[in-house]
Structure 1
Amino acid sequence: MVSKVSTSLAHYAYKVNQLQRHEAEAAMAGGINLFQLMARAGAAVLSQIQQHFPAARHLHIICGKGNNGGDGYVIAKIAHEVGLSVTVLVMAEREAITGDAQQALILLEALPVKVNFYQQNELKVASISAFQADIIVDCLFGIGFSGRLSPTLEQLIIQINNQPCARVSVDVPSGLNADLGTVYTVAVKADLTVTLIAYKQGLLTGQAGNYVGNLQLETLGVNHVFAQLTTTACFRQSERNLPSILPRAPCSHKGHIGMLLAVGGFETFTGAICLAAEAALRSGASLVGVCCHKQSRNIVLIRQAELMVVADSAQTLSSSTLLKKIKVIILGPGLGQEHWSQALFDLVITLPQSKVVDADALRLLAEYPIKNSQWVLTPHPGEAAVLLSCSIAEIEADRFSAVKKIAQQYGGICVLKGAGTLVSDGNIVWINSTGNPGMASGGMGDVLSGIIGALILQSVDLFSAARLGVYIHGRAADIIVQKYGQIGLLASDLYPEIQRLINAESY
């Protein structure tokens, strides 16, 4: 498998203040001014609208008073010129429109396009259902929005979301925080979001998945200049910039790849450890041993003949002759939080092998915190909240800070699961681009642990293994969902696609 790492701007993700500081500078360095950049933005968005909604004939464009509204005036002007029917609602008084947005509005007002201005002394916004449209184009707010919407704008966005037509947001769905991916009350639920110049990190994770729809990037021809003006430690992971696994020599045998040990499976939690261990086998681990409760032993052996049960307690594991052969340990799936579980945790956590720490082991780690550079922690938001002694709401309010804090506090690599899974070493953050809502089913996290554990055996470092594992996990689910749909997707359904993807030249 060849490395696919690329330095394209399409793989970078930025904070809002970086765009605000360098947008004008990038335009100037590219030989244009901000009004010309606005003109490019409007043309690019309309092109995306025509590409994705070729049958659309009437656009209803809703604009704010800033430059995002200016983009909307450009869209309206060009749409009229190409023969589309256009109406415009401006959520501001005419006198409030200034700068480049005003220049764009003046050009629009020279055309026979109906522009309606909202008056501050009106009691409510007129119902937008009065404007029959194929598409509502959301140009209310740009990247600078944060905080809470006014009651008037909340009601407007609710109306927008209730209309039986497609919705397109320019740059960011209005109401969504472009830095954090959070929504305070409501936001436009776009079918298509056309984001401009570069990806904003908040569009790629967390609640953003409920609002952005089909996310498309338009760099407006200033991408290379912009990348030279500012740096970022946040990246969007796609099939074009994945790490590679180490090639296998023709004379490789199972000892070269190495043995993995999966620790967990307390009594009635056998399924979790089976899923993790089986996923490790399908992901390339040559030998997989299992340490599980004695009542789980027979189920493990029946489920998969290639698995070895090497111990059933901390005592038997500590005396196992196989312990020295083990290169990687997965700790946590189905481990429980009993005395048996605690004893195994206390033993395994001190062993020198690289580890994947998941599920119940994360909760035990929070009770007895230590730091280790040689592990990958894979919490979902609930487990992340336990690790950081905070609420789930606080984790989801700033997933970027949370994933870095866990890696800094506990060491190694943190994988914060969820929509737009984040992978961090405490400094750099990668945002995963694969996965779907069908993965909200039991055992998916256990399979991910197995994949990452096996990839640690085959990768140059833990970060690479975690990144590639997260991508393949989500991509396997995406492929299955394309064939059969999201409902009823099982964790074990992923095995054939995991094996195929790991062996593929291209994802």
Structure 2
Amino acid sequence: MEVIKLTASLPQPVYSANQVLSNEAAAADAKGIPLFELMKSAGRAAFELLSQQAEQASSVLIVAGKGNNGGDGYVLARHCAAAGFMVSLLVLADEEKITGDAAKALAMLDPDSVNLRFEPDLAKANKMIAAFEGDWLVDAIFGIGLKGKLTRAWQQLLTTINEHYSQIISLDIPSGLCATTGHVENVAVAADYTVTFIVLKQGLLTGKAANYIGDLWLATLDVQTEFVQTIAAQAFAQGTSGLPAITPRRPTIHKGSIGLVLAMGGNLGMPGAIRMAAESSLRTGASLVAVACHQENQAIVVQGRPELMLAPSEPERLISSSFVEKAKVILIGPGLGRDAWANQLMQAALKADKPMVVDADALFAMKSLRAFSNNWVLTPHPGEAAFLLDCDIATIEADRFGAVTAIAQKYGGICVLKGAGSLIGDGQKVIVNTTGNAGMASGGMGDVLSGIIAALILQTGSMMDATRLAVSIHGQAAELVTQNIGMRGLLASDLFEPIRQLVNQY
């Protein structure tokens, strides 16, 4: 049974919990595989992952529920025992509560090879988990069918698992994590490894999920093809392959044919944001970049980067200037501020009627002007997304897929909801990006991304293609910088050189 690491299995469609629960039986039937055989395959796949990571003489505690996720754990226990592991199986239910395929899997266990205990009392189970002195702990408790809030007793049990020193493997999904949204209501198992089955669940790839899944692996159980052919996906995951390409440059190309990015922002006291956005556009291949910033920032913005041009600071002069006329893309927002000048600049950008990248403070101006366009890319972080949808950040993070879709539908165009597992939505489908790391939690990263998107719109001719490629390159650049020197201290401007390297690969 092949178990594939996430990075080796992208791009591919991803699905909600309901899609999987409602259709896995049909996919198995299409392949002629009974559901019980699917459970046996899942347990075998989990064993393959565990045996890759653990020594054969290791001791393992499998904490299992009464449902099908528990059944996967029972199968895993059988394989571990046969391979010489010292196996303890803690079932969090009375034996008579276990029915269906899970009961069949339980009946296949050799009671002499496994230390089996049924314990529906969670307080007692909690003490047993805390007392375990082995190397590996397997979470086979809830699976993707979890609904509602966890009781205090369940919260305490999951917390005890997390506090244990052993390595943790979660089957299908860490218990407590929503497979559809990636939301954690209060606590979830923080796994070192997660092996998910058949197809990727979208909630594993965005938001809080990054704190819980550890290394993510996929076991297709030989029915992924049938599932994908039968069920239309609304979300897709991308990594570093299968991305849109940039048209190769012909020998006779010139700067005018590539085009000008006009970057607007950099209000008084905020020159850095627009400078980083503008320079990232240059490093991504924009042949010409002009900056319209506050007059007192002009010298700072172009210092050390003479390739940047300066457009008029006054909105009235700017709108009638050659820079607006020649611009193929307008980037607005980094360091823009929220004063009268900022609003006037936003009105000028809207009047120009060009493809736009709208970031940071420009999102606030856009909403106040009740603007709508299908010719722009919006790049909010969760706080800005909450403002755009008149809710709080917790609501955004509870359903990031719903939020990115709602923003694109309400304001038009394409929305990038930034954060761990950034989402790209056009109001219909959603792309989940999987590149990047925690080192990107530093000032200016969003400004650099907006500049990459603007430059790629020039070079791809497609807003969606440009955005998908930009978000991936942005994350890849951070990975390249941090792979040898670590994440702490990563600066947004550190990405410029790897951005240049990466964009030439596409």
TM range (shorter): over 0.9
**How far apart are 1:31 and its partner, in Å?**
2.0
**Higher mean C-alpha deviation, range 297-306 or range 197-206:** 297-306
Aligned to 1:472: 473
- Contact 2:10–2:237 (8 Å) recurs in 1: no
State how far apart, in whole Å, the 2-side matches of 1:380 and 1:121 are.
Answer: 39
Q: Does 1:274 align with 2:275?
A: yes
What is the RMSD computed on CA atoms of the aligned residues? 1.4
1:3 matched residue in structure 2:
none
Does the CA contact (< 8 Å) of 1:274 and 1:303 recur in 2? no
Shift of 1:446: 0.1
Give SS of 1:400's match.
helix
Partner of 2:139: 138
Q: Which residue of 1 aligns with 2:164?
A: 163
Checking the alignment, whether the CA contact within 8 Å between 1:181 and 1:205 is kept in structure 2 is: yes
Q: Please say if residues 262 and 323 of structure 2, whose CA atoms lie closer than 8 Å, have aligned partners that are also in contact.
A: no
Q: Distance in 2 between matches of 1:119 and 1:421?
A: 40
Residue 150 of structure 1 deviates from its aligned partner by 2.1
Task: Tell me which amino acid in the other structure corresponds to 2:31.
Answer: G
CA contact (8 A) 2:88 2:114 kept: yes
**1:406 alignment counterpart:** 407
1:251 aligns with 2:252: yes
State whether residues 47 and 80 of structure 2, in contact with CA within 8 Å, keep that contact through their aligned partners in structure 1. Answer: yes
Distance 2:399 2:224 in 1: 27
| Kept after mapping to 1: 8 A contact 2:122/2:157 | no
Q: Give the equivalent residue in structure 2 for 1:209.
A: 210
Q: Which amino acid aligns with 2:172?
A: D
What is residue 366 of structure 1 aligned with on the other side? 367
Instruction: Point out the more displaced range, 27-36 or 135-144.
Output: 27-36
* CA–CA distance in structure 2, aligned partners of residues 15 and 427 of structure 1: 15
Quick one: which amino acid aligns to residue 329 of structure 2?
Answer: V
Corresponding residue for residue 346 of structure 1: 347
Quote the Cα distance in structure 2 between the aligned partners of 1:396 and 1:171.
22
Distance in 2 (CA, whole Å) between partners of 1:235 and 1:25 is: 21
Q: Deviations over 1:229-263 (max 9, x none)?
A: 21111000122221111221221010110011100
Does 149-158 or 123-132 show the bigger shift?
A: 123-132
1:190 corresponds in structure 2 to 191
Tell me the CA shift for residue 54 of structure 1: 4.3
**CA displacement 1:113-138 (0-9 Å, x = unmatched):** 11111134976632413221111000
1:5 is matched with none
Q: What corresponds to 2:30 in structure 1?
A: 29
User: In the TM superposition, what is the alpha-carbon distance from 1:90 to its structure 2 partner?
Assistant: 0.6
Partner of 1:116: 117
**Which letter does structure 2 place at the counterpart of 1:323?**
V
| TM-score when normalising by structure 2 | 0.96
Query: Does structure 2 retain, via aligned residues, the 8 Å contact 1:38–1:70?
Result: yes
- The alpha-carbon deviation at position 153 of structure 1 amounts to 1.5
Structure 1 residue 110 displacement after superposition: 4.2
- Structure 2 CA distance for aligned equivalents of residues 338 and 309 of structure 1: 21
In structure 1, runs of 5+ residues without a counterpart are 1-7
SS at structure 2 position matched to 1:356: strand
Match in the other structure for 2:5:
none
Q: Which residue of 2 aligns with 1:317?
A: 318
What residue identity is the alignment partner of 2:211? N
Q: Distance in 1 between matches of 2:443 and 2:396?
A: 21
CA–CA distance in structure 1, aligned partners of residues 486 and 326 of structure 2:
42
Which whole-Å CA distance do the structure 2 matches of 1:123 and 1:301 have between them?
67
Partners in 1 of 2:127 and 2:324 — Cα distance?
Answer: 72
Task: Check the 8 A contact 1:10/1:199 in 2, yes or no.
Answer: no
Is the CA contact 1:403–1:424 (under 8 Å) kept in the aligned structure 2? yes
Deviation at 1:51, TM superposition (A): 1.7
- The equivalent residue for 1:420 is 421
Q: What's 2:335 paired with?
A: 334
Helix, strand or coil: the match of 1:108? coil
Residue 315 to residue 55, structure 1, CA distance change in 2 (3 Å):
farther
Deviation at 1:379, TM superposition (A): 0.3
Deviation string for 1:30-88 (max 9, x for gaps)? 12211111111111111112223347711110000000000001101001101111101
Q: Deviations over 1:125-158 (max 9, x none)?
A: 3241322111100000111112211222211111
State the secondary structure of the residue aligned to 1:458. helix
Query: Which residue of 2 is the match for residue 4 of structure 1?
Result: none
Q: What corresponds to 2:49 in structure 1?
A: 48
Q: Between Structure 1 and Structure 2, how many residues are aligned?
A: 498
| Separation in structure 2 between the aligned mates of residue 313 and residue 146 of structure 1, nearest angstrom | 55
The equivalent of 1:234 in structure 2 is 235
